[in-house]
Amino acid sequence: MRRWLLALILLLALIAASAWWHIRAGMDTRSAPGSLETYVAQTVRAWSVPSKYKTLRNPASCTEEVLGETREHWADHCATCHANNGSGDTLLGRTMYPRPPDMRRPDTQNQSDGELYYVIKNGVRLTGMPAFGAPGDNDTSSWHLVCLIRHLPKMSAEEELEMRRMNPKTPADLEEERQEAEFLNGASTPTPEHHHHP
Amino acid sequence: MMKAIQTSLCVLAISTGLFAHGGAEHLTGTVKALNADSLTIETTKHETLTIALTAKTVAMKSKAKGDLKDLKAGDRVVVHAEKNKAGQFEAEEVDFGPAPAAAAKAAH
């Protein structure tokens, strides 16, 4: 009994020390999570996926046509954080906490189709990943996204270029594009230079 | 409810603006020099900038995939670049158009 009590006190002390350390370290997102935190978070997330999804296979056919349509979907909805190529190397992705994973790597690619679908459909708490669409296992567009995630390690430079044109743009971006095109085509009026996108 | 909608719209608006160019600056100017590792341009405000070219730099000629080898001194370019940790610009994308003579003809 005493041993259990001692173990419990030690565990509580460890949790309190960890909480104190995290609070003292600050709550900013500039630093990436450490390896222990990453391991714990990934393990808990993996446990949280219902077992039926671990064996679920993608019912969609990942044809070239589907991949083409889904690149457009990804470029518009996902690339802001995940980047067109799935690397997560974007302005937002670089300082999110936790960072979006490089989805081309084994950590993502080794997950089952169902696990990937579950994350797209239900999101991940305490991260930047929201749930998309209505709950359910028959969302074709989310299964198509699983197709694209499988394709990310093989994505060509041409596909990435095509996706750049599909990324979200504000009216100011479109106007700037127009001015730049005019400049490249020989217009005498110079476009604003050093145009910085915050 | 309204607050949640307003917040969502703000996040969407901000993230759209942020992503559009991934934080890159757009440098417009004329090529002064080019080698395998860097591109030097004179900007439209007559400032000389040297921009590093990397394996990830993509060339776009008239909105189609191009080749940096086609660039030469005097060509107009729009370079999408970000500063690296050393503070030097690194080109993500170099856009260029038709040859200057053709461009001048098109402009008239």
Distance from CA of A48 to the nearest CA of B (A): 27
Q: Which of 3.40.50, 1.10.760, 1.20.120, 1.10.10 would CATH assign to domain A52-167? A: 1.10.760
B9 vs B90, residue with greater confidence: B90
Residues of A whose CB is below 8 A from B98: 185-186
Residue B99 belongs to some domain of the structure: yes
Residues of A whose CB is below 8 A from B29: 193
Number of folded domains that form chain B = 1
Residue B32 belongs to some domain of the structure: yes
Residues of A whose CB is below 8 A from B24: 197
Within 8 A by CB and 6+ apart from A167, the residues are A75, A76, A79, A80, A84, B19, B20
CATH number at residue B101: 2.40.50.320
pLDDT of residue B15: 40
Residues of B whose CB is below 8 A from A88: none
Cα angle A53-A50-A45, degrees, rounded to a multiple of 5:
105
First to last CA, chain A: 60
Judge residue B4's burial from the number of C-beta atoms within 10 Å of its C-beta, 0-12 exposed, 13-18 middle, 19 or more buried.
exposed
Residue B15 belongs to some domain of the structure: no
How confident is residue A10, by pLDDT bands cut at 50, 70 and 90?
A: very high
Interface contact A190-B28, CB threshold 8 A: yes
Residue B10 belongs to some domain of the structure: no
Residue B7 belongs to some domain of the structure: no
Please state the pTM of the whole predicted model.
Answer: 0.73
Considering only alpha carbons, which residue of chain B is nearest residue A173?
A: B20
pLDDT tens, residue by residue, A75-131: 999 999 999 999 999 989 999 999 999 999 999 999 999 999 999 999 999 999 999
Whole-complex ipTM:
0.72
**Of the partner residues A186, A195, A198, the one whose CB lies closest to the CB of residue B18:** A198
For residue B53, what are the domain limits?
24-107
Rg of chain A on CA atoms, in Å: 22
Look at residues B18, B41, B20, B11 and name the one whose alpha carbon lies nearest to residue B29: B41
Tell me the C-alpha distance between A38 and A35, whole Å: 5
pLDDT tens, residue by residue, A26-50: 888 998 998 988 999 999 999 999 9
Interface contact A184-B76, CB threshold 8 A: yes
Distance from CA of A132 to the nearest CA of B (A): 14
Tell me the C-alpha distance between A145 and A142, whole Å: 5
